[in-house]
Structure 1
Amino acid sequence: MTHVLTLVAGAAEGRLGPSVPAAAQAALAGAGARVGMPDWLAPGIACDLAYAADDPAAAHAAAALALAPAAIDVLATPVAGRRRRLLVCDMEATVVENELLDDMAALAGLGDAVAAVTRRAMAGEIDFAASLRHRTRLFAGYGEALLAAAARGIRPVAGARTLVATMRRSGALTALVSGGFSIFVDRVRAELGFDLGFANRLAWDGDLLTGEVAELAITAEGKRATLERLAAERHLSTAEAVAIGDGANDLAMLAAAGLAVGFRPKPPVAAAVANRIVHSDLTAVLYLQGYRPAEFAAG
């Protein structure tokens, strides 16, 4: 078998029964695939189905369509090189629940103005770099207290710590690559255990924000370039990388990775990426790579 389909139950909706892999087997066979027997990575939670097909992507799509009414994430990857050696993650709305400029705006009473621009940027309606500069200008004259208050509200996504700890223990390099700001990324990198963190920097005039971005290196192309550079530095191919993101500014990074995962993806990512995690948490990325719970590391 050349590929594996991984079924992961939604975190809140329930467990996988035997009818679920049976339905996936039927859908794969209907798409012309040869299908193996279910291999339960975690009983009731995650199940593998090895398969081979002339068009593996079409077979994956057929299985996803067949199971679409259920709260199940239907993921697929080639068997060869299944466990990746580089993990590159977006931060906001991917490994943390927050959009931190939106959180700052809510604290400062600027919520509606900033959130509207954020939504348009994540949907790909406006250029990310321009939208970031526009939103940042609204915070001119604010000080460290606002940033500290926003940082205290950071909420890691379920499974993020386990994902990072498990991949690090297996020898992978883990990196957080965010179009947000280093003052938040440094905190999340340390809290979740990433090896590296990359972000943009705010400009200060003494103790107050100027409203400008001091360094804008992590744009959509900056994310892609960072993934490619990290792979080269580790003497890896980009095929050995897994990238996870949710918004339009993650598309170039996702396209560069051998395994691309959209986590609670916005429409542009949902349209571009076949592996979409909507119902389960970030441990689904471990199941997709064939890890079993006994191999999970405590985050």
Structure 2
Amino acid sequence: MPHARFLVVFDADSTLLRNEVIELIADEAGRGAEVAAATEAAMRGEVDFAASLRSRVAQLAGVPVAAFARVLARVEPTPGAADLIDAIHARGGVAAVVSGGFHEILDEVAPRLEVDVWRANRLGTTGDALDGTVSGEIVDAAAKEHSLRRWAEERDLPLRRTIAVGDGANDLRMLSAAGLGVAFNAKPAVRRQADLVIDPVDLRELIPLLP
């Protein structure tokens, strides 16, 4: 593992990306509005994330895998994402993403943004369509915190050399564990508990925070 000076771990949806990807996939099933409402409740911390994710993914059953091409075409990085990741690398840092979203999208988007390491959920499939399940362990608040700690440990970085950036309730444990927890474009519960709140939806605002 190459030496790194620091680690920045991002949430994906509504943080590094402007979209909530599950809502884009749900649009393909004609269930975008219902899934959007459930996602909002989960991000506010009103319902258990894992249970909410399973119920929302169940709404995606039958969506063809081929629809991911249309979804990817709609995914937009948050303004300033590329500039921030360039700045992280220029200062000898590592850019990471841990997402309650899906590898099927992140595996395409993360390399384009030059993210160094990422982790997300996987959608179950039967044949050439989604079967409405999550395959394997769900990436929830505990998994996000564990990912941050593991990636720091692998690089011999103390947690004080880590920054976590997120918007939803499932990011709170990760933000608390990091040396600096940043609420970005965030829900009220996250804004109350983070070390720092950034309101402009432009990731370049984080560049002055880098070590």
Q: TM-score, normalised by structure 2?
A: 0.94
Aligned to 1:88: 9
1:103–1:280: structure 2 CA closer, same or farther, 3 Å change rule?
A: closer
Residue number in structure 1 paired with 2:117: 196
- Give 1 or 2 for the bigger CA radius of gyration: 1
Distance 1:274 1:232, change over 3 A: closer
Deviation string 1:71-92 (CA, Å, 9 cap, x unpaired) is xxxxxxxxxxxxx610100000
What is aligned with 2:64?
Answer: 143
Question: Residue in 2 aligned with 1:121?
Answer: 42
Query: What is the alpha-carbon distance in structure 1 between the residues aligned to residue 124 and residue 68 of structure 2?
Result: 13
| Aligned mates of 2:79, 2:105 — CA distance in 1 | 18
Cα deviation, 1:263-297, whole Å, max 9, x if unaligned, reads: 1111110111141111251111111237xxxxxxx
Equivalent residue for 1:256? 177
| 1:153 and 2:74 matched | yes
Higher RCO (C-alpha 8 Å, min separation 6): 2
Describe how 1:206-245 pairs up with structure 2 within 5 A: 206-245=127-166
Paired letter, 2:53: L
Using the alignment, how far apart are the partners of 1:280 and 1:106 within structure 2? 24
Separation in 1 of the partners of 2:68 and 2:55?
18
Unmatched segments (≥5 aa) in structure 1 = 1-83, 291-299
Distance 1:148 1:265 in 2: 28
Shift of 1:94: 0.1
8 Å CA contact 2:88–2:210 kept in 1: the answer is no
Paired with 2:7 and 2:93, the residues of 1 have a C-alpha distance of 5
What SS does the aligned partner of 1:216 have? coil
* Matched position secondary structure for 2:203: coil
Contact persistence 2:184–2:201 (CA under 8 A): no
Identity over the aligned pairs, expressed in percent? 42
Distance in 1 of aligned mates of 2:24 and 2:138: 22
Name the residue aligned to 1:107. 28
CA distance in 2, matches of 1:236, 1:195: 16
Q: Do structure 1's residue 177 and structure 2's residue 98 form an aligned pair?
A: yes
Using the TM superposition, give the Cα deviation of residue 111 of structure 1 relative to its aligned residue in structure 2, in angstroms. Answer: 1.7
Long gaps (5+) in structure 2: none
Shift in Å, 1:142: 1.6
Residue 130 (structure 1) aligned to one of 51, 56, 64: 51
Q: 1:274-293 residue pairs with structure 2 within 5 A?
A: 274-279=195-200, 281-289=202-210
Q: 1-side partners of 2:189 and 2:181: how far apart? A: 13
* 1:14 matched residue in structure 2: none
How many equivalent pairs are there?
A: 207
Q: State TM-score, norm by structure 1.
A: 0.67
Map 1:266-281 → 2, pairs under 5 A: 266-279=187-200, 281=202
Higher helix residue share? 2
